[in-house]
Amino acid sequence: MGTNSSNPFMAEAIALSLQNVRSGNGGPFAAVIVKGGQIIARGVNRVTATNDPTAHAEVVAIREACTTLKTFQLTGCEIYTSCEPCPMCLAAIYWARPDRVYFGNTKEDAADAGFDDSFIYDEIEKPVNGRKIPLQQLMRGEAIRAFEEWAKSPNKVEY
């Protein structure tokens, strides 16, 4: 069970999630990103408003924060999100590398509200050829050239 202590950044994420529901613009999810004690980005679920299945609150906030900071990493930042991140958002968070993430609702709370992502966790565990959406490898010999050139490139920026 989580803590009930008051936090202004979490309060903002929760308020944004409620506002998003009431506006009819998306699901009950919101996130804020904080650096140096200041909110530098806000995001709400925009999936249905933008017809973009990747427009989850955390992803929207990460995109805004990275644009604001002019970097692809959020080192020194904290993310406050109204709900425990889904698998996609969790992956995006790991790629963004914030220092810490705080969440309000749990993934079980989300499932109870109709947002059950357990099937994705299950699919990730399956071998490629056993997943619901078929994945088939094609043209690896040609595709590998991009990785080979990347390995030799003097212009690459590692991440």
Catalytic residue among 12, 58, 123, 125: 58
β-bridge pairing 38-44 and 100-105: unpaired
Tokens of 152: 């030799």
The one-letter amino acid at 91: A
Q: Helix or strand or coil: residue 116?
A: coil
Q: What are phi and psi of 126, to 5 degrees?
A: -80, 155
Tokens of 58: 């955390």
- Tallying the residues shown for the chain, one arrives at 159
Is 158 designated active site? Answer: no
Task: Find where tokens 């906030």 sit.
Answer: 61
Spatial contact of 29 and 81, defined as CB atoms under 8 Å apart: yes
Spatial contact of 44 and 17, defined as CB atoms under 8 Å apart: yes
Q: Which residues are catalytic?
A: 58
